């Protein structure tokens, strides 16, 4: 795989070619993921759950994110490296710029923020300063205490319309990518078709430009009950490498996600 950049992803979207994304939190996972041709690695603040054992991403700090971003960056290969700005670390333009700068200097090539229209000036300011941003819409885990749990978002007309309008306005403000989490598949399709930037889905149906999973979920390493959108790729593979390769093949071949992994 040649070095993946935003231009690579734009070209793939234009050609209707699906791309893949997985989380990684350390150098070993980064190698596992990048060596199987995963285009985008996310140092997700899900590390609060899967590495630190918290029940939400709220306790994750900018220092935590910088540490894990440096670890992943050492072995990210040709994958595009995106890192999450954690909870309450981008409440103003200046705070976002200061913290995004730290993530970029730790090795990130793009930062991800959760929210909707209120992010417009922040995204514009980051872009002005040479920092590409990815906006995470739908189920935004940092707001779990406002949302009242991990629930599908955008099922009612008003929320769906607000999300579509926010996606278009965020692209106009300079957002370079979107992540849609746990939204009805039909809404995800509409948002994906309404913007020119690449859209990655998780629990958002098969029609987004790319698909992402938490790497430990696809490797079946997380205990307890799994969200509906997760598939255990270890079940049909004899090794972690083969499981990641199976995820890549399934996304590119259009067999993952299936209708059973989405929400109507
Ligand atoms: O933190 C994370 O892992 C994420 C993905 C689930 C999209 O935001």
Write out pLDDT tens, residues 191-222.
999 999 999 999 999 999 999 999 999 999 99
Residue 198 and residue 68: Cα distance in Å, rounded?
25
> What's the pLDDT at 219?
97
pLDDT at 230 (0 to 100): 97
Average pLDDT for the chain:
97
Q: What is the pLDDT of residue 224?
A: 86
**187: phi > 0 → left, psi -120 to 50 → alpha, else beta; which?**
alpha
- Atom 8 (ligand 1) nearest CA: 44
Assign 161 to helix, strand or coil.
helix
Output the CA 16–ligand 1 centroid distance in Å: 24
**Residue 223: band (very low, low, confident or very high) from pLDDT cuts 50, 70, 90:** confident
Ligand 1 nearest atom to the CA of residue 141, by list position: 8
* Token output for 26: 């350390």
Does residue 241 have a pLDDT over 90? Answer: yes
223: left (phi over 0), alpha (psi -120 to 50) or beta: beta
Contact, 171 vs 165, CB < 8 A?
no
pLDDT band at residue 40 under the 50/70/90 scheme: very high
Give the Å distances, CA to CA, from 74 to 26, 130, 244.
Answer: 9, 22, 20
Residue range 124-153, pLDDT digits in tens: 999 999 999 999 999 999 999 999 999 999
Does residue 212 line the site of ligand 1, with CB under 6 A?
yes
The angle formed by the CA atoms of residues 111, 216 and 167, to the nearest 5 degrees, is 35
pLDDT in tens, 43-55: 999 999 999 999 9
For the Cβ of 179 lying below 6 angstroms from any atom of ligand 1, the answer is yes
With the C-alpha atoms ordered 9, 241, 22, 131, is the resulting torsion angle positive or negative? negative
Ligand 1 in reach of 214 Cβ (< 6 A): yes
Token pair for residue 201?
């889905």
Please tell me the distance between residue 44's alpha carbon and the centre of ligand 1 in angstroms: 5
Per residue in 152-180, pLDDT tens?
A: 999 999 999 999 999 999 999 999 999 99
Distance 46 CA to ligand 1 centre (A): 6
Ligand 1 pocket member 46 (CB < 6 A): yes
């Amino acid at each position: 795989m040649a070095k993946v950049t935003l231009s690579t992803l734009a070209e793939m979207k234009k050609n209707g070619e699906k791309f893949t994304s997985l989380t990684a939190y350390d150098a070993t996972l980064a190698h596992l993921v990048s060596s199987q041709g995963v285009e985008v690695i996310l140092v997700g603040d899900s590390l609060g759950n899967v590495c630190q054992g918290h029940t939400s991403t709220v306790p994750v700090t900018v220092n935590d994110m910088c540490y894990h971003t440096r670890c992943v960056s050492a072995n990210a290969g040709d994958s595009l490296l995106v890192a999450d700005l954690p909870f309450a670390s981008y409440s103003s333009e200046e705070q976002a710029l200061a913290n995004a700068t730290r993530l970029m200097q730790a090795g990130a090539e793009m930062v991800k923020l959760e929210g909707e229209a209120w992010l417009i000036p922040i995204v514009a300011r980051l872009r002005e300063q040479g920092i590409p941003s990815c906006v995470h819409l739908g189920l935004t885990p940092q707001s779990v205490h406002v949302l009242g749990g991990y629930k599908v978002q955008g099922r009612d007309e008003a929320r769906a319309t607000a999300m579509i309008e926010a996606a278009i306005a965020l692209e106009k403000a300079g957002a370079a990518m979107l992540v849609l989490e746990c939204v009805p598949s039909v809404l995800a399709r509409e948002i994906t078709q309404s913007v020119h930037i690449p859209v990655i889905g998780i629990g958002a149906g098969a029609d987004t430009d790319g698909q992402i999973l938490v790497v430990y979920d696809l490797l079946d390493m997380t205990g307890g009950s799994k969200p509906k959108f997760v598939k255990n790729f270890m079940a049909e593979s004899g090794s972690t490498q083969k499981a990641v390769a199976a995820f890549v093949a399934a996304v590119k071949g259009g067999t993952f996600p299936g209708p059973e992994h989405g929400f109507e």
